[in-house]
Amino acid sequence: MSTGAQAYARTAQTTATPRDIEAQALLKAARKLQDVMANWAHTDAGYEESLLFNRKLWSIFVGDALRDDNPQSLEIRQNIANIGIFVLTQCTALQQKREVEKLQSLIDINRNIAAGLSGRP
């Protein structure tokens, strides 16, 4: 990475809100999963790694939603936890059996949540 790009990345990290960081992480997970879908018939490259990244990300979200000191309302926390449990279940199912429909649902969830965090429709 060039020096300018590194400086930009550091500045972006220090000025991004937590919501922006969460949205960026969700979009990164969606991109990784989308790359797997784009090469579905040709290779398994990146399959396990993309599922692992998505599972780790959602594990963080669920863990945060379950914390007693989380400032979000109980309803929002429950919704995040429910979505997270669904995502984690889908990731586990995909590790046992590859299904393009389940992979697409994870991509859609990540993109939709990221859009909501970013204030985009």
Q: How many CA atoms lie within 13 A of 68 on its CB side?
A: 0
Pick the CATH number of 18-118 from 3.30.450, 1.10.287, 1.20.120, 1.20.1530: 1.20.120
Tell me the pLDDT of the chain (121 aa) as tens digits.
Answer: 556 666 556 655 567 888 899 999 999 999 999 999 998 887 777 899 999 999 999 999 999 999 999 999 999 999 999 999 999 999 999 999 989 899 999 999 999 999 998 886 5
Distance of alpha carbon 45 from alpha carbon 113, whole angstroms = 26
**Domain segments of the chain: what residues?**
18-118
Q: What is the pLDDT of residue 76?
A: 93
Q: 49 exposed, middle or buried (CB, 10 Å; 0-12, 13-18, 19+)? A: exposed
Q: Is 79 left (phi over 0), alpha (psi -120 to 50) or beta?
A: alpha
Cβ atoms of residues 100 and 40 within 8 Å: yes
